[in-house]
A = this chain, B = another copy of it.
Amino acid sequence: MSAQEEFGIRPDEVIIELPATPDASLYFIGHIRTPWKKRADCPKNARGSEAVCTVELDARYGDGLKDVETCSHLVLLYWMDKAPRNLMRQAPGHHGGAQHGTFALRSPVRPNPIAMSVVRLIKVEGTKLSVVGLDCLNGTPLLDIKPYLPSVDSVPEAVCGWRLRKD
């Protein structure tokens, strides 16, 4: 299956030309183990599953985990390496087929396919973290782990208007 088919890209979606050269580089600092081996198996959103997933941090970064075990929730950033990067409007099937801008969607399809998920931390054992709240494919590359700080990260009253109109 091509990436275009896999991600359901349609002929009327808006495709752009990306810059000729990139601007910065990333290191994959580990990988995420989940029960999902195909995109179709993944939960539609990160609260759609209570599955415990495993974040395997590479050993060289292990010292960076000091005090992480005191956090109830973490922000994980990870790399959606299978997603096309040149699509500016998308019509995700589960949002009724209407087109929305890439930056109004949480789709993995975006110029920098960095996904962000808030997860609940179950335990830390060495460089392995058990967490709940992921929806990504098994083997997804990890980019960052941050403490979730409700004082700056939690906005219960936030509204995403176009989604409300669909619900």
A residues bordering B, Cβ < 8 Å? Answer: 14, 16-19, 22-29, 45-47, 57, 60-68, 70-73, 75, 77, 79, 81, 85, 88-89, 99-106, 110-112, 114, 116-118, 133, 141, 143-163
Contact = CB atoms under 8 A, between A and B. Distances in A.
Contacts of A77: 77, 112, 114, 116
| The 3 nearest A-B residue pairs measured at CB | A70-B161, A22-B25, A66-B101
A161 B71 CA distance: 6
A127 to B, nearest CB: 11
A144 to B, nearest CB: 5
A17 B27 CA distance: 12
Contact of A103 (B17, B111, B146): B146
Contacts of A29: 111-112
Given A72-B160, A148-B155, 5 more contacts: A61-B111, A64-B110, A71-B160, A105-B146, A133-B152
